[in-house]
Chains A and B, each alone.
Chain A
Amino acid sequence: MNACLRTGAARFDAGRRERDAVRHRSSAGYVAVTLVSAPVVAGTLYSLAAAFGLVGAGSTGWDASRIMRVIGSSETWQSVLWTLYTAGVATIIAVIGAIALSVVLQRSGVGRALATFPLAVPYVAAGLAALLLLGQSGFFSRVAFAAGAVHDPAGFPELVYDRPGIALILAFAWKEFPFLALTAFAVLDTRGAELADTARTLGASAAATFRRVTLPLLWRGIAPATIAGFAYLVGQYELAVLLAPSAPQPLSVITYERASDPDLSRRGEAHVLGLLAMTLCGALVVVHGRSLRNADARGGASA
């Protein structure tokens, strides 16, 4: 009787201890999540206040003139469009490359290692390599010289700091491609071979199998990663600062320039531009979340 009571008390005690532990753990978790997200929230609120001229360098008290100046300036929209254009073209190149290579090299370990290697190269290092490769006195220019196509660096087309942003697009694509290839390999590993083999067994030609089975499967699988990668490139600074022209400037570079503008009254504009970049990326994240859910739903249906 006594022993039974004691066991019961011990169980109760253990149960309470565990409940306490769980509660304790979740509250520590919330503190940690708050710590993780608070700086972003605080920074965004500060940017909002600074955009309205309430705080920061050159603050004037409640006044929307900064916002109007940024939104009304054609420089801003050219910058936004140019940023979307470079990130977009690079993403298209990376998607095509990732799909093609993942299909062809699906069973090659060396191919996989090579395709994903650029992931390990930091953006600034990739940017410098692009300068040394594509600049007017870069490696390609020397090859063109050796081939007799150009006679001096100035004769080589401007691929860096240029309006079409060739070097920036290529560097973006070079860094984005391995990320998408990695995802594409994973998609093919989980379902690709099986579905393709079934299609072939049912009499589909190799071309039809690729077009009707492998390609749609790959596209659905890598669509979320594609949107995430695109959003990342839209905010990318490291490659942009090394390779982009001064007109039009990418959104990230123009934001940094305003933030360190010697004219203090213009620094508030950096906050408006920063919020603009956050809004753009936020919108893409919403699209990303949707495509992720779609991919899950379709994957669940077809599995």
Chain B
Amino acid sequence: MSMQRDAMASGRVVAPWHVFLLVALGVVSLGPVLLLVLRAAAASWLYPDLLPSRGATGSTLGAFATPILWSALTRSVLLAVATAVVATLLGFVAGRGLVRAPRGLRELATGAAFLPVVAPPIALGVGIQVLAIRAGVGGSLVGVLIAHVIPAAGYLTLYFLGVLSAYDRSMEDEARTLGATAWQTFLRVTVPALRARWLEALVLGALVSWGQLALTLLVGGGAVQTLPVALLSFTRAGDDRLAAAAALLLTIPPALAFGVVQRGARRTGASA
């Protein structure tokens, strides 16, 4: 056992059961996504067939020629980008204000930022649905954007609270003492110093919006068709192929972001 572990640590000899386990894990982790790829590519996939028949009519990428899919994708991308930017700014300003606040106030405010993170989106959505309609943004892209920003900004406030409590502000103070304005200090010192953190925050904010269904349905009232909403309606209409195409479009961007984050983590030595 100990020899095996040493062997694994040196990365040369790998036990067969270890390989078997990795393959099994690979099947469990990647299998469902592979199934989505097959389903999206197959024009038809009749019941007892284990794999789609090759002679089926229609092209492999036929499902992606559906305009609804692309308009839903555009809307989802817009929402994710806007949510990321707004929530990152809000989260940064809130986190920064909280870091230096007196202890009692800081705990109270941190609790307040925790609210949108822990409130189930469906419960939150029910509460703000009518308020959004009253405010004239119900059933609109702007209303859905505001709804997505709520949990995203909560996450990012907590995120920046963590990042900034470990961040050394002496450089900024130096810049201010040397006569830089607050805005110059922010642009020339703070932004470059936190470069990687901005990117992570934006990715995190975009992800909160990206897979969101409950808030979009409640505040958008079904009128704002994002990719998750389209996926749900394709599934309900029994169009598995289009639903699978939507699911793939939903999976690819986070999978890429995930790869980038993993590589970044490896480069900084944060993960082996």
Contact = CB atoms under 8 A, between A and B. Distances in A.
A37 B122 contact: no
A252 interface: yes
Given A120-B257, A124-B231, A42 B131 contact: yes
A235 B122 CA distance: 7
A113 to B, nearest CB: 6
B15 to A, nearest CB: 10
Interface residues of B, number: 88
A231 B39 CA distance: 33
Of listed B8, B129, B244, residue having the most chain A CB within 10 A: B129
- The number of chain A residues touching the other chain, given as a range, is 35 or more
Contact of B127 (A27, A35, A104, A274): A274
14 contacts: A30-B97, A32-B97, A33-B98, A35-B94, A36-B157, A40-B150, A42-B128, A109-B271, A114-B29, A137-B47, A142-B50, A185-B271, A241-B213, A277-B123
Interface string B8-28: 110100000010011001101
Interface stretch (B30-38, B61-69, B193-201): B30-38
B188 interface: no
B21 A104 contact: yes
A189 interface: yes
A43 B122 CA distance: 11
Interface in B127-146: 127-131, 146
A210 B10 CA distance: 21
B272 A107 contact: yes
Contact of A277 (B28, B113, B120): B120
B94 A108 contact: no
B118 A285 contact: yes
Given A125-B250, A174-B32, 17 more contacts: A18-B177, A37-B112, A40-B115, A40-B124, A47-B126, A107-B272, A109-B271, A120-B254, A120-B257, A123-B213, A125-B33, A129-B36, A238-B214, A242-B232, A255-B122, A277-B120, A281-B123
Contact of A107 (B2, B8, B154): B8
Contacts of B101: 26, 29-30
Contacts of B109: 29-30, 33
Contacts, number: 282
A22 to B, nearest CB: 6
A97 to B, nearest CB: 9
A238 B211 contact: yes
Interface of B: 1-2, 5, 8-9, 11, 18, 21-22, 25-26, 28-33, 35-36, 39, 47-50, 90-91, 93-98, 100-101, 109, 112-116, 118-131, 146, 150, 153-154, 157, 173, 176-177, 182, 210-211, 213-214, 217-218, 228, 231-232, 235, 240, 243-244, 247-248, 250-251, 254-255, 257-258, 262, 266, 271-272
Interface of A: 14, 17-18, 21-22, 24-37, 39-44, 46-47, 50, 55-57, 101, 104-105, 107-126, 128-133, 137, 139, 142-143, 145-146, 152-153, 174, 178, 185, 189, 200, 206, 231, 234-238, 241-242, 252, 255-256, 259, 270-271, 273-275, 277-278, 281-282, 285
B50 A234 contact: no
Given A29-B96, A107-B9, A35 B254 contact: no
Nearest to B130: A56
A271 B251 contact: no
A281 B128 contact: no
Contact of A36 (B35, B90, B121, B248): B90
Contacts of B214: 237-238, 252, 256
A7 B114 CA distance: 46
B228 A126 contact: no
Contacts of A27: 97
